[in-house]
Amino acid sequence: MNIPTKTEIIIPKPYLKIAFGCTNRAFYSVKSELYSIAENVGIEACDHMEEICDYEGDLEKIRVYRTSTSEPFVEAILKHYGLVDTIPEEMEIMLSIF
C-alpha cells in the first residue's frame, strides 16, 4: 500500500489533496490501487475519476469526482488511506505526486 506524505484541503473550490511525494512512475501504483478499490466496491473507476498528466504525458494527478454513485468509492478511498474523517459532501479528492 502506498502511504500519503501529506493531506490538505485546497480552496477556493474545495477538494481534499492527498499527496504521495513519489515519482511519476511510482504514482502508477497509486492508480492501480484506485482501480482495485473501485472494483472492491463494484464501481467502474474510470467513470468517476480523471487522470491529469504533465506536459510530457506523465501521470501526476488523479481527481476523483463526488457524485451520488461514486460515494462508496470515495468512502473506500478515505478508509484505504486511513483518512476516516468525513469530508464535506461537495468536496472532491485529488491524489497527487506533490
Q: Where residue 13 falls among pLDDT bands split at 50, 70, 90?
A: confident
pLDDT, tens digit (0-9, with 9 covering 90-100), for 43-95: 999 999 999 999 999 999 999 999 889 999 999 999 999 987 778 878 899 99
How far is residue 64's CA from residue 58's CA, in Å, rounded to a whole number? Answer: 18
Q: Specify the pLDDT at position 8.
A: 86
- Beta-bridge partner residues of 6: 19
Q: How many CA atoms lie within 13 A of 22 on its CB side?
A: 21
Delimit the domains of the chain by residue range. 6-96
Q: Specify the pLDDT at position 85.
A: 73
Element (H, E) at 53: strand 49-53
Mean pLDDT of 3-10: 87
User: What are the angstrom distances between the C-alpha of 90 and each of 6, 24, 58, 64, 86?
Assistant: 21, 28, 28, 12, 11
